[in-house]
Amino acid sequence: MTLTKKSIAKSVRLTQEVFDYIDSAPGNGFNEKFENIILEAKRGESDRKKELARLDKQIEKQQRKESLLFEKYNYLESSFRDFVYIHHQIENLRQDIDKAAEKDKQFKGD
């Protein structure tokens, strides 16, 4: 870190937890450690924003994909219901034809 004249003097009150965090940072003395933490956070802010934007796009893409799958599922579910209904109608028709054929046999047999 380059030595820069520091003309702003502030006094802060900290919890033990915050003090311990600052004290565990790299640097010589409290002021340098505190400044290092702040500068690192500042440098990383752009990267975090880019990562959040990337994740937002990924989430949006996944939501569109899920929406499309849901629409396809609904269409297939409706088609399947129609198929089952037609299948039952065909079975009923087949039974009616079998009954008619049986009656026709009885009629011709008499």
Which tens digit of pLDDT belongs to each residue from 11-70?
A: 889 999 999 999 999 999 999 999 999 999 999 999 999 999 999 999 999 999 999 999
Give percent helix, percent strand, percent coil of the chain, each to the nearest 5.
80, 0, 20
Backbone phi and psi for residue 44, each to the nearest 5 degrees, phi listed first: -80, -15
More confident residue, 62 or 107: 62
Cα gap 40→42, rounded to integer Å: 5
Please indicate, yes or no, whether the overall pTM of this predicted structure exceeds 0.75. no
Cα gap 100→6, rounded to integer Å: 104
